[in-house]
Homo-oligomer: A and B are copies of this chain.
């Protein structure tokens, strides 16, 4: 292990840094966030206990469905649950799901091929990953269109270049020009070769999860993968209360291989869960504990994350809505429930319903970003690039949101109050009516005193007007071009890269294309 680690560390890339230095783009990677601030706890003890009791009642009385998955029903039966094979329904005695969750670890270290990019998920940390799943992309120049593998690679490159983004993500967009049964191979290859940040595995078929594991064995070494977590993958629950065979099949593969899964109800409130916050939280808790309990039946100690992806709904149109107060309330409450279970927590993102990277997109995104920070999220999928309710991955919004993640880093750090921070000498030096720009304390501290956006406009009005009176989208389009122009792949052992490419080619050749 130590040897492999040292070898990888030795490959740390100077090329991209050199090229970036030439173009003026800085390549930096911030460490994942470690919060030094209190969390927002919007539910009191009484409300939390009611939700926990009600979730247990639901699991026992109503139960959950595991569909097309007799092996899962058998596992539950053996564990002591009440199983109705005809209805594929599992009723879990009170307390049993919570008890089973206890073997799940409270913190996960996900390894990256560059050990400096390893992330810890759990406790006071927050790991930011990009948007996941959109079939469309949008940029200012080309408008909205179906995503391609070329788009996918651009997003992976942007993610690699984004200082405040800790994770390369998974399906940053759906490469619709690659057959459905083969695109996971190209996506994984892109994450593995174009970035050195941690990434997610495929969940669209159990066999693709297995492919993900095998590609990781090439990248990290077989033994390393069995002993360490190198992927965090997204397992959605079909809310309400249903676990399908495809997602559970992928979960089974990952759990057996000690790889992390996010067990995540996917809920549009009012459609897949009750319209009330507490009703939704009750269902979320029941679903997550059932799913995590199942992961522990597969392999006790398998790394898992308590997920909650919940939007509200516009009752006029039926459209899901994002960045709303109810979505924030559910995020806060779910965080409290996850912490009481001692589990890492996934929620939030740069979520918005807007069709464009405009003010609506930013209001909604900022509301969710703030809730993520204050609500104790440990893994934020969709941190950047999400547009139009997740139908679209936006190039401009990707760099806009990624820049905003810097705000969260600074807020999370909390406030220093040592002697230097107290700045008493500065006030004594300057005195009433003076100014601080030139004083010794300012000179000594100004470089790190204030977070500075690398994208937003801080220029005098006249300069801004002379430069074309650009709005945020236009500034972001320029930054996308600048980052992609400066991109250079992080170095990778050519032998490993050749083996990865051979694996992908061989797999692709082994089956006909499928587009559904």
Contact = CB atoms under 8 A, between A and B. Distances in A.
A23 interface: no
Interface stretch (A26-34, A180-188, A450-458): A450-458
Q: How often does this chain occur in the complex, in copies?
A: 2
Contact of A282 (B282, B316, B423): B423
A460 B319 contact: yes
Contact of A417 (B46, B283, B407, B426): B46
A329 interface: yes
Contacts of A316: 452, 458
A165 interface: no
B456 A65 contact: no
A207 interface: no
A400 B354 CA distance: 14
A363 B399 CA distance: 13
A502 interface: no
A433 B472 contact: no
Interface in A306-325: 312-319, 321, 323-325
Interface string A394-410: 00010010001001001
Contact of A37 (B42, B362, B417, B450): B42
B433 A65 contact: yes
A241 B420 CA distance: 20
A456 B360 contact: yes
Contacts of A144: 461
B64 A432 contact: yes
A362 B321 CA distance: 17
A298 interface: no
A269 B450 contact: yes
A388 B462 CA distance: 12
A172 B459 CA distance: 24
Given A427-B240, A471-B358, A315 B452 contact: yes
Nearest to A455: B360
A447 B315 contact: yes
Contact of A441 (B238, B275, B472): B275
A55 to B, nearest CB: 10
Contact of A238 (B63, B276, B433, B452): B433
Given A275-B441, A432-B62, A472-B360, A422 B50 contact: yes
A498 interface: no
A274 B270 CA distance: 50
A449 B355 contact: no
A274 B449 CA distance: 10
A279 interface: yes
Contact of A242 (B272, B312, B433): B433
Q: Which 6 A-B pairs have the closest CB atoms?
A: A279-B423, A366-B366, A362-B362, A274-B423, A325-B410, A241-B432
10 contacts: A37-B42, A38-B42, A240-B431, A240-B436, A325-B411, A326-B450, A355-B464, A362-B362, A364-B456, A367-B407
Given A47-B417, A275-B423, A315-B449, 17 more contacts: A62-B431, A270-B450, A274-B441, A275-B441, A276-B416, A276-B422, A278-B415, A314-B450, A317-B459, A321-B458, A324-B410, A325-B451, A355-B457, A355-B464, A359-B361, A359-B397, A374-B374
